[in-house]
Structure 1
């Protein structure tokens, strides 16, 4: 079983909702996703930009959030269990090593 297989059905429902909104407003899916994050108070989402056009898309998403934030933010997204990341700081003096010898 893959790391994210448990939440595939939940994730695909979110993808369908984002796709529907993107088609309704004539924008890209990533713009809907970023607009949703901004309406939830995420001030600096990681956009993974590898091309200049990705920054243009992010700027367009900010406009979507400003114009349609109340509609984009509709519905709730249940949180995922944290997978593959450290969800808290280790106790004082504990060192985390990820190098195998």
Structure 2
């Protein structure tokens, strides 16, 4: 039973951190995993309103660099005064961010 639990944990770690070395004793593996930190990248974006009488639909997406198949997307629809009309978000485990944004823009 212990071996099966350890195997399942290692399988989950391989998905989240494909480049992590999982050889050695469990204590060594845990030490390596604890050193992993997410890479934070960001940029400030300023919303500009649409022409009077129009609406604007903004989307954005993100993905886990360690596992490009884990992607999410969100979007906001606002009128020309900035009032929220609708918003959505979705997690997708099978598409890249670009694929996900394209899919939603076509709906």
TM-score (norm 1): 0.25
Bigger strand share: 2
Report which of the two structures shows the higher radius of gyration computed on alpha carbons.
Answer: 2
Return the structure number with greater relative CO, CA threshold 8 A, min gap 6. Answer: 1
